[in-house]
Amino acid sequence: MKNSPNRIAATVFGAVYVLVGLLGFAVTGGVDLIATEGGLLLGIFAVNPLHNVAHLAIGGALLIAGLSTVAAAKTVNTIVGAAYLLLGVVGFFIAGTPANILALNTPDHFLHLASAIALLGVGLGAERTARVATA
Amino acid sequence: MHAPATMTRTWPMLAALGGGLVLAALAAGAGGAPRVVLAGLGVAALGWGVLSLRSGRPLAPRTVLATSVASLLLGGVAVATGGLADVPGLPLAAAGLFLAAVALPVARAARGRARDRRGPEASAAARTAHAAPATAPAREARRSLVGLAIGAVLVSALATPALAATEAGRTAVPHGEHGGPGLHGGPGGPGGDGTGADPAPSDPAHDH
């Protein structure tokens, strides 16, 4: 695994997102599943229970892919990166409306954008030959 | 490959992604001809960033260089003549920075390509001059990941406030930070009205 940027990135991001998803439930007691205004994780990042579940699902997918093969990690990194990039764009347009079912705030956008760029960068840019057998 | 080169190899592409997002958000708040130009540039930057990341090198460097420089010059003239008076300054400056961050390394790539065209001897000599000792794959992978993470944070640090300052970002002000009392102690906490629906856009606590 230590030779594969995709597997390292997927494992690290996956572990962080699973942790963030679990910690999120500590600040969303009494918050509706799709409340547009949630609790603040670490006093900064707004989350609601659906946002926590999304973090857990994404973290789990990244973690499993990172622990399996280069091809899986590369695919999941690219898909999650593209989804986060889309969320980074769409998030600005839906925030402040009832469509903001993930209770997104600006620090969330920052984190999503940074994750999107890093995951998309490693997914598209690293291991273009997908050395599945050697990793 | 030298360590700094390995770490910064993807930065022009990441800058293109950030620039594309900011340009697209600027287009959403602009009208008329500027909207078309900004949207076109934004989509082009996003597409170029993704395709270049995929191919592992800056694609069409001469075209991208010419487009970036022309956009920067046109933008400068438009700002000087008041043609972009309705467009907020911070995102415009950020877009300019992103374009410059794309143009500079791409200019280097274009120069390398021109050297290749001059002949195999010239490019072989240049390769020898820039040759670096072979690096272990694990170290190379770590460097490339660290570079990517640093680049992503830098791009996001510039793109997020720029996006928040666009027309689209400003309409998205009261999201997520103004829940009811007791939910959290966010920046709007003490100054908030406790209703969770504080609409005041001029409240400094709303500035992103």
Rg (CA), chain A: 15
Average pLDDT over residues B34-59: 90
Q: Look at B96 and A89; give whichever has higher pLDDT.
A: B96
CB contact under 8 Å between A121 and B196, yes or no, is: no
Give the pLDDT of residue B110: 81
Model confidence band, residue B185 (pLDDT cutoffs 50, 70, 90): very low
Q: Where are the domains of chain A?
A: 5-126
Average pLDDT over residues B124-141: 60
Average pLDDT over residues A16-36: 89
Interface of B with A in 91-150 (CB under 8 A): 137-138, 141-142, 144-145, 148-149
Model confidence band, residue A46 (pLDDT cutoffs 50, 70, 90): confident
Q: Has residue A3 got a pLDDT over 50?
A: yes
Contacts of A117 in chain B (CB under 8 A): 14, 17-18, 151-152, 155-156
Distance CA A69, CA A4 (A): 9
Q: Look at A6 and B178; give whichever has higher pLDDT.
A: A6
Distance CA B141, CA A88 (A): 27
Q: Has residue B190 got a pLDDT over 50?
A: no
> A82-135, pLDDT tens digit by residue?
999 888 777 766 767 788 888 888 788 888 888 999 999 999 988 876 544 444
Distance CA B35, CA B25 (A): 10
Give the pLDDT of residue A132: 45
Q: Has residue B202 got a pLDDT over 50?
A: no
Distance CA A55, CA B182 (A): 24
pTM of the model: 0.72
Distance from CA of A110 to the nearest CA of B (A): 6
ipTM > 0.85 for the complex = no
CB contact under 8 Å between A39 and B179, yes or no, is: yes
DSSP A45: E
Q: Of the ranges A11-15, A87-91, A120-124, B172-176, which one carries the lowest mean pLDDT score?
A: B172-176
